[in-house]
Structure 1
Amino acid sequence: MSEVTVRTGAWLRRYHPADAAPARLVCFPHAGGSATYYYPLSRSLSPAVDVLAVQYPGRQDRRTETPVDDVTALADIVTEELRPWADRPLALFGHSLGATLAYEVALRLEAEGVQPVKLFASGRRAPSCHREHEAVHLDDDEALLATVRSLRGTSPEVLADDKLLRRLLPAFRGDYKAAETYRKRPGTPLLRCPVTVLTGIADPEVTRAEADAWADHTAGDFTLHEFPGGHFYLNEHAVSVIDRIRETLQR
């Protein structure tokens, strides 16, 4: 199958269109991440799964746009963008900030009568769990960049380009603000869709208890899978993660 990137508006990228696929997977990047992070996953799942990757403003081809630093606002926009793509079973995968955003989008889709078949929440504590005094988004530039480097989720090419890295500072800061100021709204209903949580055993951002707490947010099935590694465990275990997604959606 030829690889043809389809730019579906400003917010969604479809790197390997799979029109005959029985299911569609929407992928949400981490803080500071971009849609291209999911290019390898899209290539591996096509043509069995049609993959869409969300592109936040403030990076890559949207680098001149102002980042959206609020999860609720992001979820409202992305839900609107996804409505035309809900013509087949829809699953959501998010890593870190992306997991929180995917959860909020799932809530909105269910409220509109669109039932996701699965929420994959990777590298993120449950929406009911937050840590006091988290304020990376308020750090000075050097401290913020030090945090970005320590998590190893940014490509080596970008990390090696100091000028480019500094141009991305507004996107990093906006994403961290969105993640750190997010609070689950009181009275939020349980999801009806099943939730699968994936986490690194040595992830400093997510404890086992914080990962287990995702079970309290769904009336559907809950499963937890742990992998060796830290916050970006999926870089080293991409094949296993992709295989798990493929098996789940094929079922």
Structure 2
Amino acid sequence: MTVTTARWLRRPLPRPAARVSLVCFPHAGGAAAFYTPWARLLPPGVELVAVQYPGRQDRLGEPPAETMDELAGAVAAVLRADRPDRDLVLFGHSMGAAVAWETALRLEASGPGPRHVFVSGRPGPGRQRSEDVHLRDDDGLAAELRHLGGTHADLLDEPEIRAVLLPSVRADYRLIETYRPDTGARLRCPLGAFTGDRDGKATEADLAAWRTATSGAFTGRVLPGGHFYLVPQARQVVTAVLAACDVAPPVAHPVLP
């Protein structure tokens, strides 16, 4: 693995012999570690590869990406160099859904594309809403995070942690809120979309709008929960992803007393 690849990709449970990489893209302000619990839900032939955006955690000293083209272009280049012999399956949540779709478009434009793309918790490109969360003060930004439920409220109450966390959150919100997708762009591979039944940021109608983002097969699924439904529903999401890719999930062993 090159130094550049190592900066961008995290493998919480390395599987060098795997034939499929499930590449996961975090939400705004999120980090690769968000997907760590998924690693043990995958069969031996699938390796979890989580993208670490610049400007957070162990990449805190790097400036965050300013545009979608910068971010998706960099990830696409890294994935081309990472494991060229593997099938790629992309999954992105919230902002990560847009990054995954844009990355997949770039991969298809320059060579073999992903086997499947999954988007979660974000409206399709034709239903993007105009928002200005990145322009709010720190209290307003923290209030948005509390409302969505993706960040522990106690962390946002600590001034030192807020000072570290909020700059990357604000940068991500600026990127996604100034992003203007090409509504005529289409993937060729299958596209699956997920949302929570109480997610006001991505309704069922928003979910259906992803149908026009691919010329391949489309599936949509609504699961119980709000914007971060995929935390308590992790096993259901992973099982659905594997099934759509025709990969059997690992056998669940009973817990012995």
Q: TM-score over 0.5 for the alignment?
A: yes
Distance in 2, Cα, partners of 1:35 & 1:180: 21
SS at match of 1:99: helix
Q: Does 1:202 align with 2:177?
A: no
* Deviation for aligned residue 1:51: 1.5
SS at match of 1:31: coil
* Deviation for aligned residue 1:16: 1.1
| CA root-mean-square deviation | 1.8
Specify whether residues 186 and 127 from structure 1 end up closer, same or farther in structure 2 by C-alpha distance, changes over 3 A only. closer
Q: Does 1:227 align with 2:190?
A: no
* Deviation for aligned residue 1:125: 0.6
* Deviation for aligned residue 1:120: 0.6
Contact 2:118–2:191 (CA under 8 A) maintained in structure 1 = yes
* Deviation for aligned residue 1:46: 5.0
Gaps in structure 2 of 5+ consecutive residues: 248-257
Question: CA-to-partner distance for each residue in 1:19-66, whole Å, 9 max, x for gaps?
Answer: 222211110000010000010112321523111111011111111221
Specify whether residues 96 and 38 from structure 1 end up closer, same or farther in structure 2 by C-alpha distance, changes over 3 A only. same
* Deviation for aligned residue 1:230: 0.8
Distance in 2, Cα, partners of 1:7 & 1:107: 21
Q: Does 1:130 align with 2:110?
A: no
Distance in 2, Cα, partners of 1:154 & 1:7: 28
Question: TM (normalized to structure 1)?
Answer: 0.91
Distance in 2, Cα, partners of 1:192 & 1:143: 40
Match of 1:64 in 2: 61
Gaps in structure 1 of 5+ consecutive residues: 1-5
Distance in 1, Cα, partners of 2:156 & 2:124: 29
Contact 2:29–2:172 (CA under 8 A) maintained in structure 1 = yes
Contact 1:16–1:46 (CA under 8 A) maintained in structure 2 = no
Distance in 2, Cα, partners of 1:35 & 1:176: 17
Matches within 5 A, 1:150-189: 150-155=147-152, 158-159=155-156, 161-185=158-182, 187-188=184-185
Match of 1:3 in 2: none
Matches within 5 A, 1:30-49: 30-45=27-42, 47-49=44-46
Question: CA-to-partner distance for each residue in 1:80-136, whole Å, 9 max, x for gaps?
Answer: 11112232111100000000000000000000121211111010111222213x100
Contact 1:7–1:13 (CA under 8 A) maintained in structure 2 = no
Q: Does 1:246 align with 2:246?
A: no
Match of 1:20 in 2: 17
* Deviation for aligned residue 1:155: 4.3
Distance in 2, Cα, partners of 1:47 & 1:186: 37
Q: How many residues align?
A: 244
Question: TM (normalized to structure 2)?
Answer: 0.89
Contact 2:13–2:39 (CA under 8 A) maintained in structure 1 = yes
* Deviation for aligned residue 1:149: 1.5
Out of 95, 98, 103, the residue aligned to residue 97 of structure 1 is: 95
Question: CA-to-partner distance for each residue in 1:188-226, whole Å, 9 max, x for gaps?
Answer: 3x1101000010111111122211010001111100000
SS at match of 1:239: helix
Specify whether residues 196 and 187 from structure 1 end up closer, same or farther in structure 2 by C-alpha distance, changes over 3 A only. closer
Contact 2:8–2:78 (CA under 8 A) maintained in structure 1 = yes
Distance in 2, Cα, partners of 1:175 & 1:61: 17
Specify whether residues 186 and 214 from structure 1 end up closer, same or farther in structure 2 by C-alpha distance, changes over 3 A only. closer
Distance in 2, Cα, partners of 1:249 & 1:21: 15
Tell me which moved more, 47-56 or 99-108.
Answer: 47-56
* Deviation for aligned residue 1:164: 1.0
Contact 1:58–1:66 (CA under 8 A) maintained in structure 2 = yes
